[in-house]
Each structure stands twice: as C-alpha cells, then as structure tokens.
Structure 1
Amino acid sequence: MKRIVLIGPRGSGKSTIGPMVAQACGVPFIDTDEEIVSRTGRTVEELFRADGEDAFRDYETEVIQNLPEGPLVIATGGGAVCRTENVRMLRREAMVVFLEASAAVLADRTRGGMRPALTSLSHDEEVAAVLERRRARYRAAADLCLRADEETPAALCRVILEAAEKGSLPVNALSELLSFLDTTMIPAGERNVVHTRIRTGASWHNGLYAVIGNPCLHSISPSVFNPLFEKYRLDAFYTRIEHPDLAAIMAQFNRAGMKGLSVTIPFKQDVMRYCDAITPDAREIGAVNTVVQCGGRTMGSNTDWLGIRRPLEDTPAGEAVVFGAGGAAYAAIYALQSLGCGVTVLNRTAARAREAGERFDCAAGVPDDYKADAFDIIINATSVGMGGALPPLLRRDQLHEGQTVFDLVYTPPATPLIREARAAGCICIPGTEMFIHQACGQFERFTGIALEPDEVRELI
C-alpha cells in the first residue's frame, strides 16, 4: 500500500483518524509530535515554551527525515509543511491527506490548550491567521482534501481507505477524460500512458496534471514535470490538452478531479472565471497561469511574474521598458514594479499601451518612443523573434553596454534580440530563464515541493 500522511492544523483530527486508518490497514501509526516527545522526554508545550517554535521545527524535521521505510500511517504537526525538506520526504511514495476545518471549529477544539501562543493575537484570531498563512501549503502538499468539520472520523476513515486502494481520481471520470483526450491532438505516447493506467485499473495517487492552451502541443512542460515527479517518487502524470473550448476543458478537469493545470494562450484571462479563488498577484495582473484543485475548490495563481522577477533580483532597480501589452507584458510590469523599477510600456497599438499604463500607473507609448539612453532594463514581451524570425525587436545600435535585456521569447534560446544585445555589450537574460523560474513556482503550487532552478534547467 501507499504510505498515508495526514496533514492539517491542530484540532483537525489527525491523531484521532490516523490510528483508525492504521488499524484498518494493519500498519504502524506514527504521530511526529509523539515521536518528538519520546525522543526529548519533554512535552510539546514544554519544548515550545523553553526552546521556541524554530527549535521545535528542527526536532520535527529530524523525526520526519528519519521515518522508517515501508507502509505507515503518519500524522504530522501543523507547521511541518512550511519546510520543503519535510514535504519532500513526506510525499515520497505516499498519499497525503489534508484534513481541513474552519478556523472557528479549530479554535473551539484547541481552546484551553497549554501550548504557548505564536503571536500576540487572541486565541481565535491566531488560529485564523495561522490557518490563512498555511492553507495554500496544505493544499499544495495534499493529494486528497477532506472536510474534517463536516464528516465523522469513521466516514473520513472510509474515504481515505478507498482512495488509498483505488487512487484519488474517479475511474469513470478518467475514462470520460480519455475519450475527450482522444478528440484532441495529444501525442500518442501520452495518450497511451493514460490508456494503460485506466485499462489496468491503476490511478494517480499524487494527481493528474496538464498544460492547456490552443495551441500548446509545442509545450516542453511534460518533459520537465514528469521527470520531476519521478525524481521525487510521486505517482503523478502530466500531459497536454490542446483544445479550443475552455469550458469543455474545465468540465473535464473538474469531473476527473485533476490536481493542477498550467494555462497558456489564449486562456489565461478567461480561466479566471472558473476559479473559486484567485491570488492577489494574479488578480492584479489580470491573468492566471496556474490552477490547483483540492477538495473540489480551485485556486488560480500566476507564476509568470516570478519567472520574470527572479532572474532580475540581482539587477539594480532602474528605469525599465516593456515592449508589448498582453498577459506576459502585464506580468513583466508587475514584476518590475515589485523590484522598485520605473516602468514604461510600449506597444504598436497605442490604446492597448495606454490601457496597461492606466492599470499599473506607469508611462505608456509606442515603439518609436523608445530611447536607448532612457532605460536600464529592456523586456521583450511580444512574439517578435519567435522561431528566430527577423528583424530583431531592437538593433545593436539601439542598445548600449550595461543595459539588461530580457527576451521572454525562448525559441530559439539565442533570439535575434539576444544576439544583437550581446553584440552591443548588454547583460542578456534568455527566455528560458523565465520558463525555469515560473516552472519552479508551478511545481511548488502543484506539490508543495520547492525546487532549485538548476533542477529544471538541466531538463531543458
């Protein structure tokens, strides 16, 4: 059997449901808090009070990293998911279950406990604040999300046991998804994997994922995410869904209980209306490129801006120009402003440039307004140069040494703009860097595991 890991805040019922599941499976049960107490000879409350939360988390990480091999049911502390090394270990060949409950219920269940407060807030306010801070981490790390305040422990135990036996995805809905995929241009190899898994009655305990778009068959995401799933010993699969009808795609996504989607053109704005919640960054940018489903609720977020921001974090803030006024340009403007840069957006259609300028309170104009001496950072958020097509966005005589040029186009890696910028002595960032960093952000939202950029870089 798969290892079963229960995560969630204090009061969610992990220590009640865990032993029930373990007994039904005939395997050992380990509560990491109890293991810490056994090793230190002190209660959790004493450890928190004397050593502080950080020291307790160190004890917790040590216990998690040294869990015995083989089938187990594990209950972890509420903050265990805040460290990626814990999530990496807990998710290995395991099905992770998030026991979710409202802040009011959790506060009632933990009222009067001896554990020291983590903040200066009242008990109820602290429970709500900690839950809000950690909720996205719980949902990312989980394969199954269950409402622990709406079902009895016995009912939750039955759901967990059924998912452990049959997988967390409904077989009938997967068969329907397969029929839908057969109407698309999904590559034969990817289709065969889905066919085989359904035909043999197997499922994906750690989720089914896809990139959606029209077109999207050119996406290299499957060749990145599937090796990463294998590396971290996740029973998951990532494919491509190229289809013109977003409503049809999202209907399949919901019915099949898929865990996550990477969203590309032309769906990044329209997909927002299919999300139950949207992160503040995605709402401000006006586009979603990542959708995660947990417990029947979908969260939309945006990692494109992280893919732009992180390669620029060591670049001094200055005046930046963004060419383009689409979704990628909006992500670039948001990223640059988060770094303290002044931004000007230039677009061939002046009205679209003005719209972007008004949205982000920045200067706007047309490409002819570009002046080399006015800008320290140049970002190409248009399709100019894709496939190596000439002419370049800017010529070398329009650039100068010391400028940073970031071309979001990544096919080919050395675009005409990058070649001209190198000849002019500019600092160059190829579009592959945006892909690498946004993929890191997506993988963490999908699985709870934070990656090092080189882990993606070596796969592309």
Structure 2
Amino acid sequence: MRRVVLFGYRGTGKTAIGTVLSRRLGVPFLDTDALIEQKSGRTIPDIFKNDGEERFRALEREAIAGLPTHDVVVGTGGGVVMDPENMERLRRDSVCVLLAADPATIGRRLAKSPRPPLTSLTPDEEIAQVMSRRRRQYAASADFCVDTSTTSTEEAAGRILSLLKEGTVPPQVQEAAFRWFVADAPGAPELQRLESLLTGPDRDVQTRFLGIAGYPCSHSKSPLLFNRLFERYHLNCHYTRFEDPSVATILQVARDIDAKGLSVTIPFKRAVMAYLDEIDDDAAQQIGAVNTVVFSCGAAHGWNTDWLGIQKPLTGFSGTRAVLLGAGGVAAAAAYALTNLDMEVTILNRTPEKARTLAEQFGCRWRAWNGFDGMNPDLVVNATSLGMQPDTRSPLRDDQLKKEMTVFDLVYTPPVTPLIAAARKAGCATITGTEVFIHQAREQFRLFFGIDVPDTTIREILA
C-alpha cells in the first residue's frame, strides 16, 4: 500500500481522522508532532517557547526523514508544507490528502485545544493570516482534498477510503476524456500511455494528470521535463498535452479528469484567466496573464511564473536601457520583470497601439516597430514568436545588432534561434529561451507539488 499522508491546518482533524483511517486500512498511524514529542521528551509548546520555531522545524525534518515509506498513514503538522525538503520526502511514493475546513469551524475546534497560539493576533485573525500565508503550499500538497467542516471523523475517513479505492472520476468520464485526447492525434506511445491510464483494466485511480495547455503545443518540452521529474521524485503523476483551439474546452476536460495542474502557453495566457476561480498571484494580476493553473479542492488557481523565468537569468546584469520586442502576454511578463529590475524599458510592436497600451500599463516608453535603429540599448528582449517553428525569421536585421548589446530571446524552440545565432555572430552576449524555460518550470513544479527542484537537475534532463 502506498503511504497516505494527511496535510492541513490545525483543527482540520488530521490526528483523529488518521487514527480511524489507519485502523480501517490495517496499518499503523504516525503523527509527526507526536514523534517529535516522543523523541525529545518535551511537548511542542515547550519546544516553541524555549527553543523557538527554528529548532522545532529541525526536529520536524528529522522525524519526517525517518518515516516508513509504505503501509502507513501519516499525520503532519500544519506548517510542514512550508519546507520544500519536507514536501520532497513526504510526497515520495505517497498519496497526499489535504484536509480542509472553514475558518469558523477551525476556530471552534482550536478553542478546545491546549496548544498555544502561533502569533499575538486574536484567534480569528491568526487563522485567517496563517491560512492565507500557507495557501499556496496547501494547494501544492493536495492530490485529493476532503472538507471536514461538517463531517464526522468516521465519515471523513470513509471519504478518504473511497478516494483511495475509486478515485474522483467515473470511468465513463475518463473514457470521454480519452476520446478527446485521441482527436488530438498524439503519437502512438503517448496514446497508448493515455489509454492505459484513463481506460485500461488495471488503471490506477490515484494517478494525477497534468499537462501543457496550448494551440499548438506539440513543440513543448514540458512533457519530457515533468515526466522525468515525476520519475525522479517518485510522484504518481502523468504529464501530457491539452491541445485544442478552445481554452474553455481544455479547462473543462482538465476539470473533468480532476487534473492537478496545467502549464499554459500561447495563445491562452490571457484568455485562460476568465475560466479560473481565483488569481492568487499579484504578479499575474498586474501582468494580466497566467501560465500556471493549480487545481485544488475544486477550485482552479492562476499564477504567473514567466516573469521569474525572465528575471532570474538577468540577476547581476548591470545595464539599464532595455528594448522589449512584442506586446502580448509574454511581453507583459517581460515588462513586469524588467521594470521590477528598475530598467528603462521601451516597447516596440508591429501594432503601435498595443505597444502604447502595454507601455502605459508598466510606465514604459514605446515606439513603432521600425523605431529600433539608433536606440543602442544595453539589453534586447524578444517576446514575439518570431524564431519559433514554423516562422523562423529573426525579429531584427543583422546590422541592427551591436556587440555592446545583450540579446535575450524568450523563444526556446529551437534552443538557438535565428536571433541568437545572429547576435552571437555580431559579438553580443546572449541569453537563450532555455533559461526562461528552466526557471519558470522550476517555479511551476513548486506550485504543483511544493518541491524545490535544483535548476541543475532540470538542465541535466534537458541536455
């Protein structure tokens, strides 16, 4: 039996429900807080009071590192999700269930608890603040979600047993989803894999699906990367392509099969926002585009990691004047990243009105597409699709590139675009779109699973 790990805020019932669940499964129940108290000979409140939270978290990591890897139910502390090292260990070969409850119910339950508060706030304020701070990590922790607000301990344990045995998606719904994937005509190996996972006689109902949402998206390296990462971190997941001209259809199919998450690519980064329940990310709100969707507890949450993929390769860059080519969703993420680095940005676009609109949004300058000559920027960022198959043109002429410039092409397929090749020939420093892909994918994986993948690991997979 796969290890079952219960996550959730204090008062959601992890210990009580875990005890019943373990009894009904015929396996031990281990509570990480109880293990810490047993090993240290002290109570959790005493550790917090006399040694501080940092010492408690160290003891918590030790307890988690020593847990059995199968045939056990594990109840975790409410803050365990904040540590990527813990998440890497707890998610390995496990089914992860998030227990949720409304704040009022949690407040009533905690009023009966001997545990001291975590902050100096009132109980209601503390619950709201801490749950908000952990919201992203709780969403990442959930393979399945059970609301315990109005259920008894036995009912909640029964619900988890049903999830483990039957999953969340009826067979007829998975069969309909498979027919949709077939219409996209994926390659034979992927089609066989999807058939086995969705409709096969031995299908694993605990397998979670993720994918790249776009039209087209056959060029994406995300399926290769994420499926290799699933193998490396022992996650029972599969990553595929959700390719359709309608983003509404893609979101509906994803919801139908209870997908864990989506990476969103062209042309849907703006349009997808209308189909999400919440935009959790201030950056996504300001950029007006989402490239990451996390499904948790019946809701679709939107995030943007593109801007981090653009900003991180520029760490330490000393130039101040940047020209941004393009005015679409990726260009908005680039404008956000560049202005966040306090650069003076001028936006060029073939439709000047779009350049002006984006420039006004971020306090930048703008010009028509032919306004590049004579600008001599320190940095040129290509946020158009020029250079990506099948349009392999460069957005700039060779004579416009000067060796004093750094050229950053956000297109990553092919790895060396015509613009990058021309820039290198002109003696420019270059940054390829692969760097964007690596850093934004790393952030996506953390949003999906709470695990922090070293960028060196991603580079090894893509090599």
Q: Same fold (TM over 0.5)?
A: yes
- Residue of structure 2 in register with 1:98 after alignment: 98
Q: Which amino acid is 1:207 matched to?
A: R
**Alpha-carbon separation, structure 2, partners of 1:213 and 1:305:** 19
Q: Which amino acid is 1:337 matched to?
A: T
1:19 CA drift (Å): 0.4
Q: Which amino acid is 1:248 matched to?
A: T
CA separation of 1:298/1:150 partners in 2, compared to 1, >3 Å: closer, same or farther? farther
Equivalent of residue 430 in structure 1, options 423, 429, 432: 432
Q: Deviations over 1:399-432 (max 9, x none)?
A: 4444322101122222222123223333211011
Q: Contact between 2:352 and 2:369, CA under 8 Å: does it hold in 1?
A: no
1:393 CA drift (Å): 2.8
TM-score, normalisation: structure 1: 0.95
**Secondary structure, aligned partner of 1:458:** helix
1:226-375 matches, within 5 Å, as 226-278=227-279, 279-316=281-318, 318-370=320-372, 374-375=376-377
- Residue of structure 2 in register with 1:62 after alignment: 62
1:303 CA drift (Å): 1.4
- Residue of structure 2 in register with 1:421 after alignment: 423
1:119-130 matches, within 5 Å, as 119-130=119-130
- Residue of structure 2 in register with 1:196 after alignment: 196
**Alpha-carbon separation, structure 2, partners of 1:323 and 1:426:** 17
**Alpha-carbon separation, structure 1, partners of 2:185 and 2:293:** 22
- Residue of structure 2 in register with 1:36 after alignment: 36
Q: Unaligned regions of 5+ residues in structure 2, if any?
A: none
Is 1:161 the equivalent of 2:151? Answer: no
Q: Which amino acid is 1:427 matched to?
A: A
Equivalent of residue 439 in structure 1, options 433, 438, 441: 441
**Alpha-carbon separation, structure 2, partners of 1:361 and 1:116:** 47
Structure 1 ranges of 4+ moved more than 6 A: none
Is 1:451 the equivalent of 2:435? Answer: no
TM-score, normalisation: structure 2: 0.94
CA separation of 1:382/1:228 partners in 2, compared to 1, >3 Å: closer, same or farther? same
CA separation of 1:15/1:347 partners in 2, compared to 1, >3 Å: closer, same or farther? same
CA RMSD of aligned residues (A): 1.9
CA separation of 1:57/1:317 partners in 2, compared to 1, >3 Å: closer, same or farther? farther
**Alpha-carbon separation, structure 2, partners of 1:413 and 1:249:** 28
CA separation of 1:206/1:84 partners in 2, compared to 1, >3 Å: closer, same or farther? farther
Q: Contact between 2:243 and 2:250, CA under 8 Å: does it hold in 1?
A: no
The 10-residue stretch of structure 1 (367-376 or 282-291) with the greater mean CA deviation from structure 2: 367-376
- Residue of structure 2 in register with 1:218 after alignment: 219
**Alpha-carbon separation, structure 1, partners of 2:374 and 2:142:** 49
**Alpha-carbon separation, structure 2, partners of 1:259 and 1:407:** 30
**Alpha-carbon separation, structure 2, partners of 1:119 and 1:425:** 56
1:222 CA drift (Å): 1.0
**Alpha-carbon separation, structure 2, partners of 1:48 and 1:404:** 50
Q: Which amino acid is 2:425 matched to?
A: A
**Alpha-carbon separation, structure 2, partners of 1:97 and 1:44:** 24
Q: Contact between 1:143 and 1:168, CA under 8 Å: does it hold in 2?
A: no
Q: Contact between 2:438 and 2:455, CA under 8 Å: does it hold in 1?
A: yes
Q: Contact between 1:2 and 1:164, CA under 8 Å: does it hold in 2?
A: no
Q: Contact between 1:166 and 1:203, CA under 8 Å: does it hold in 2?
A: no
Sequence identity percentage = 44
Q: Contact between 2:4 and 2:94, CA under 8 Å: does it hold in 1?
A: yes
The 10-residue stretch of structure 1 (274-283 or 372-381) with the greater mean CA deviation from structure 2: 372-381
Q: Contact between 1:388 and 1:411, CA under 8 Å: does it hold in 2?
A: no
Q: Unaligned regions of 5+ residues in structure 1, if any?
A: none
How many residue pairs get aligned? The number is 460
- Residue of structure 1 in register with 2:147 after alignment: 147
CA separation of 1:412/1:25 partners in 2, compared to 1, >3 Å: closer, same or farther? same
**Alpha-carbon separation, structure 2, partners of 1:369 and 1:432:** 28
